[in-house]
Amino acid sequence: FTPELVQAINETLEKKEQIILFQNRRGYSNYIICNECTHIPKCTRCDVSLTYHKISGKMECHYCGRKENVPGACPSCSSTSMHMKGFGTEKIEDELALVFEGARVGRLDTDAARSARGYEKILGAFANGQLDILIGTQILSKGLDFENVSLVGVLDADSMLNFPDFRAFERSFQLISQVSGRAGRRSKQGKVIIQTMDPDHPVIRYICNNDYDGLYADQMEERQVFGYPPFRRMIRISFRHKIPSILDGACDLAARDLKEIFSSRVYGPQYPAVRKVQNYFVKQIILKVEREASYERARELLKGVLDRISANEVYRSIRISVDVDPY
């Protein structure tokens, strides 16, 4: 919590008003790291670090759900100097109890509200004034109206802005604007504090100025230059296999055939941000087709290439999926 946010929370609590804190990451710590060799425990089935959840006392994979015990020593170098890094909604809940003694704190994420009844119970307690501070993920950004909420804190805007996706800026603007709208819903003036390491980031400025038109113009210009929707249709072809060499061979063959047909409209193959999920390695090819082009013809040509891959005896076991407009 920045000093500005701490002061604002204290002032809000003194006025007997309520606070919403937004962090779009559940769990306690994002990952555990060894101070000696920098080893980070990862899921054995997915290419992601394990998130520590204090409520279960386990490290969990947010892709496949696998759970593991917290290691007493580093699996790589046996050092006992291991530390937790990053923060999620569970850690915020713990820290609030230490910083703001006596504050009644609730948490709303998919761990705390696993059913519709649990979700309604937490929201009901907040609406009835039984909670002073509500922490949550994007589950609380839409459709909620609390008349006594006068402060909203966005704790880590940078994690959304730096997500590797062409819609990251649009989604960040949308999410932060929506959660900001929870403050000052009635006659009272609300206050929003956005914590970021880059306050001069254009999206942060657009949010602070409530400048949707500016964001729209900026994003449309960028998407036109790089051929992203809505100027082109995007087709994502995903290939999955347990053996990387077989996957590479199939993807290279598919990319070569597609480039002969679609030329520079083909991008990849490349690994996504998470290259292995549930023991399957994943590679993707992106196809961008002009809006005025015949979509039926493009689909027919793409089907021909993928059918030839599937008919190949070596690549028959590869799982292929096609997602049109994957956003």
pLDDT digits (tens, 9 = 90+) for 60-94: 999 999 999 999 899 999 999 999 998 999 999 99
Band (pLDDT 50/70/90 cuts) for residue 187 is: low
Q: Which stretch of DSSP H or E encloses residue 20?
A: strand 18-22
Mean pLDDT for the chain? 91
Q: Are the beta carbons of 203 and 161 closer than 8 angstroms?
A: yes
Q: How many helices (H) and strands (E) does the chain have?
A: 9, 15
pLDDT at 186 over 70: no
| Overall residue count recorded for the chain in this entry | 327
pTM listed for this prediction: 0.85
Q: Residue 277: its pLDDT value, please? A: 94
Half-sphere exposure of 36 (CA within 13 A, CB side): 10
pLDDT at 263 over 90: yes
| Cross-strand partners of 151 | 19, 191
Q: Residue 185: its pLDDT value, please? A: 61
pLDDT in tens, 199-225: 999 999 999 999 999 999 999 999 999
Looking at the chain, the whole-number percentage of residues with pLDDT higher than 70 is 98
Looking at the chain, the whole-number percentage of residues with pLDDT higher than 90 is 72
Q: Residue 117: its pLDDT value, please? A: 79
pLDDT in tens, 289-324: 998 989 899 999 999 999 999 999 999 999 999 999
